[in-house]
Amino acid sequence: MDGPAHTEGSERPAEGVLARAFRHTDLEGHDLPPSPTPSSPRNGRRYAMATELVYTEHGDQYHSSSVPIYQTATFKQTSSRPTDGAYDYTRSGNPTRSHLERHLSKITSSHRCLVVSSGMASMDVITRLLSPGDHVIAGDDLYGGSNRLLKYLSTHSGITVHHLDTTTPLTSFPPILTAHSQKVKLVLLESPTNPLIKICDIPLISTLVHTANPTSIVVVDNTMLSPYLCNPLLLGADIVYESATKYLSGHHDLMAGIIYTNSPPLASRLAFTINASGCALSPFDSFLLLRGIKTLSVRLDKQLLSSHAIAVFLEQTCGFRVRYPGLPSHPQHDLHSRLSPRGAGAVLSFETGDVSISEKIVENTRLWAISVSFGCVNSLISLPCAMSHASIDKKVREERGMPEDLIRLCVGIEDVNDLIDDLTTALVKAGAVKVTVDGICPLSKAEREKLQAEAEGKLSGPGNEQST
C-alpha cells in the first residue's frame, strides 16, 4: 500500500487498522478477502475525477505498482471446509477483478460495481431481473444490439416491450405508465442516443416512472458518456451499465461491460446472476480495463475538444445538418449541458442528403477508419443504417426517423487538423463540398446533381465528351 497516504490524522484509516479490518472480509461487504483487492478505502472518492481514475491502492505482498493478474481458475483452500470469505473459483471471484470492481465503485460513487464480459452481457444480466408478463419501456433509438435482445425477450420470454420517444417524456410516458403501472418493471434509457444523438431527461423520466410505480427499475446505458462525463445514478437511475469496450477501455483491444447501482438488494441479485451464468470478466481483461481507465480523462478531454471543432466545421463551413449536443443548434443543447456539464461526448452524426455521397465520404477517408463501435483512441467513421444498426428492420428505421444517409463520426485523439483535412479530402472526392479561392463551401443541389450525372456518364462533363 501507499505508506504515507495512511498516516494517522489523514481522513483514511491507518494501515494497521485497514489490515486488521480486512483480515477476513472487506469493508464494503462484498464478502471477498482483501489482498490485493482494495482499490479504495471505504471513504470513497476524495480527489478530482482525473486523479481518482489513476489512483488505486492494493495490498500486494511485493508492493507492485500495477495490480497483479491472478490468471488462475482455482484457488487452493487451507482446509477442507470453505474458508471464510476466501477466493475459491474465478467465476465466483478473482482478486484482479475485485480490485477493478472496487476501483469502479469508487469512480462511480456507487454501492457496488460489477464487471462482465461485454456491454451486452451487462444488459443480459440486468434483464434477468424480469419475469414473464413484465413490461419494459425502452427508447426508440437504442443501440441495435439492445434492440435485438429486447426483441428476443419479447418473442421468447413473455416480456412486453414499448418503444417510446424519450425526448417527449411528458406526452409519451404517461399513457403507458397509467395503463400498465404495476407491470412496468424496467425502463431502459440511453442518452445521447446513437446515432440520432437524442438526449433524454433522465431526472424527469425517473420521477415519472418511480411515481407511477416505486418498484420499477430505471436503467441507463451510459456507454456514450462514461462516468467521466455523466453519472446517471445521481440523476435518478437505479442501475447504470456501460459497454466498457468503448471509452473505459479506450483502445478497442478488449470487450467488457460494467454495471453499477446504489441498491444493495439489486447488487446482490445481479452478482448472483453473474456467478450463476459465468459471464464475469476474465482476470487478464480486468487488468487491461484497469489500465485503460487510468487514461480516460486525458483521452476524453482531447476527444471533447476535437469533436466540438469538427462539429463546428461540418455545420458552419460545410453547411451540413449536424447532430452534436455541444452545438447550440442541437434542440436539446441546454438539457444535455445540465445533465452532463463536463462535455457533450465524442460521437456526432451528420446528413449529406444523399446516400451515395455518404457512402463515398465514408470510403474516401484514410485516418477515419470504417468501423462499428466508438470510444477508441483512433477516429472512426460509419454509415449506421448499413452497419451498427443494420439489424434493425429498414421499415422500423424509417418509422424512427433514422436517415439512411446519416454518417456517424467517433472522434479519437489524433491531431484535430489532420482529422479535418482527411475529412475535407473525402468530402471533396465525394462531391459533397467544393474548394474555392474563398475556402470550402457546400455544393448546391444543382451542382451535386450535375456532378452525379457526370459520374454516371449521363452528362458530358470536362474530359468525358466522347461518352456522349
Query: Residues with catalytic annotation?
Result: 91, 143, 221, 246
User: 3-class SS at 185?
Assistant: strand
Which CB, 308 or 389, lies closer to ligand PLP?
389
Which CB, 34 or 257, lies closer to ligand PLP?
257
Tell me which stretch binds ligand PLP (CB under 6 A): 15-23, 47-55, 93-101, 221-229: 221-229
Which CB, 120 or 318, lies closer to ligand PLP?
120
**339 in Cβ contact with 191 (< 8 Å):** yes
Residue nearest to ligand PLP (CB): 119
**66 in Cβ contact with 245 (< 8 Å):** no
**412 in Cβ contact with 378 (< 8 Å):** yes
Which CB, 191 or 365, lies closer to ligand PLP?
191
Minimum distance, C-beta of residue 300 to ligand PLP, in the bound complex (Å): 16
Tell me which stretch binds ligand PLP (CB under 6 A): 143-151, 225-233, 347-355, 422-430: 143-151
Q: Does 147 bind ligand PLP (CB under 6 A)?
A: no
Q: Does 319 bind ligand PLP (CB under 6 A)?
A: no
Angle at 61 between CA 85 and CA 254, to 5 degrees: 75
Q: Does 145 bind ligand PLP (CB under 6 A)?
A: yes
- 457 φ/ψ angles, rounded to the nearest 5 degrees: 80, 15
Q: Does 40 bind ligand PLP (CB under 6 A)?
A: no
Q: Does 240 bind ligand PLP (CB under 6 A)?
A: no
Minimum distance, C-beta of residue 282 to ligand PLP, in the bound complex (Å): 14
User: 3-class SS at 208?
Assistant: helix
Taking the C-alpha atoms of residue 247 and residue 225, their distance in angstroms, rounded to an integer, is 8
Minimum distance, C-beta of residue 257 to ligand PLP, in the bound complex (Å): 6
Taking the C-alpha atoms of residue 432 and residue 423, their distance in angstroms, rounded to an integer, is 11
What is the DSSP-derived secondary structure letter of residue 74?
Answer: B
Alpha helices in 114-263 (DSSP H): 119-127, 144-156, 169-180, 202-212, 226-229
Contact pick of 263, 295, 373, 378 for ligand PLP (by CB under 6 A): 373
Taking the C-alpha atoms of residue 307 and residue 253, their distance in angstroms, rounded to an integer, is 23
Taking the C-alpha atoms of residue 369 and residue 363, their distance in angstroms, rounded to an integer, is 9
- 321 φ/ψ angles, rounded to the nearest 5 degrees: -80, 115
Contact pick of 90, 105, 108, 118 for ligand PLP (by CB under 6 A): 118
Q: Does 245 bind ligand PLP (CB under 6 A)?
A: yes
Q: Does 379 bind ligand PLP (CB under 6 A)?
A: no
Residue 57, Cβ neighbours under 10 Å: how many? Answer: 21
Q: Does 257 bind ligand PLP (CB under 6 A)?
A: yes
Which CB, 164 or 430, lies closer to ligand PLP?
164
Contact pick of 223, 226, 273, 358 for ligand PLP (by CB under 6 A): 223
What is the DSSP-derived secondary structure letter of residue 421?
Answer: H
Q: Which residues sit at the interface with ligand PLP, rule CB under 6 A?
A: 118-120, 143, 145-146, 190, 194, 221, 223-224, 243, 245, 255, 257, 373
